[in-house]
Structure 1
Amino acid sequence: MRALNVKISRFRRSAQGLLVSVLLFNSAAFALTLDDAKHQARVGETLSGYLAPIKQDAETLALIKYINEGRKQQYQKVAQNNQVTTNDVARLAGQKLVARASKGEWVKGINGQWLQK
């Protein structure tokens, strides 16, 4: 049981570091930044750990693809280091990203509906 608690604790520390990486993920290659897209209600966080589009324009979709690919790579690294699945890491990150979304930002709830915080 102690070994499991140590593994969970290590996983949570890794997940917290991952969350910082995800939040700081650089989208400088795009004219549209992640913060701009969130404030313009073009994207929202989901419990899956990945961004989803609210608006379907090409610029928004390109930004989402870029950010989500980076997130997936980070989730895979954390998963390998902690001997858990990538989906487990993504879901944990998703819960934290949704919980930490700023007032006015959009998140997709458990029921799949968009909610503004």
Structure 2
Amino acid sequence: MTQRLIAAMLLLGAAQPALALTLDEARHQGRVGETFSGYIAARQQDSETLALVRRINDGRSAEYQRIAQQNSLTTEQVARIAGGKLVERAGAGEYVRGLNGLWMQK
């Protein structure tokens, strides 16, 4: 019985990444949107969405810092350039936050 419990816990733990919300899923579900700041923002405030936003934005921040150092720019400059491109590339039906702070669906 103990072996079965351990096996079940291992299977559950291994399955967690597969169950995690992806950025594409969150975009298509309207849970997040792109902003001109270069970072995604949560449109829904549930824990799964907020965890995704933190994870994605942490990764973007690190990448923006790397690019900034290579190009003698500030991280904020790189983030704004990326933000403009990400908002422009957002797909039909996805949300973007305008310069006025309001969400718009493309």
Residue 90 (structure 1) aligns with: 79
Residue 8 (structure 2) aligns with: none
Unaligned runs of 5+ in 2: 1-16
Unaligned runs of 5+ in 1: 1-27
Q: Normalising to structure 2: TM-score of the pair?
A: 0.82
Residue pair 1:30, 1:63 contacting (<8 A) in 2 also? no
Tell me how far 1:46 sits from its aligned partner.
0.2
Q: How many residues align?
A: 90
Q: Normalising to structure 1: TM-score of the pair?
A: 0.75
Q: Which amino acid aligns with 1:32?
A: L
Q: Which amino acid aligns with 1:59?
A: E
1:43 equivalent to 2:13? Answer: no
Could you say which structure has the larger radius of gyration? 2
1:109 equivalent to 2:98? Answer: yes
SS in 2 for 1:71: helix
Q: Which amino acid aligns with 2:50?
A: L
Tell me how far 1:29 sits from its aligned partner.
6.9
Residue 64 (structure 2) aligns with: 75
Instruction: Please give the alpha-carbon distance, in whole angstroms, between the structure 2 residues aligned to 1:37 and 1:113.
Output: 18
Q: What do the CA deviations read for 1:3-42 (whole angstroms, capped 9, x no partner)?
A: xxxxxxxxxxxxxxxxxxxxxxxxx676111000001000
* Percent identity (aligned): 61
SS in 2 for 1:79: helix
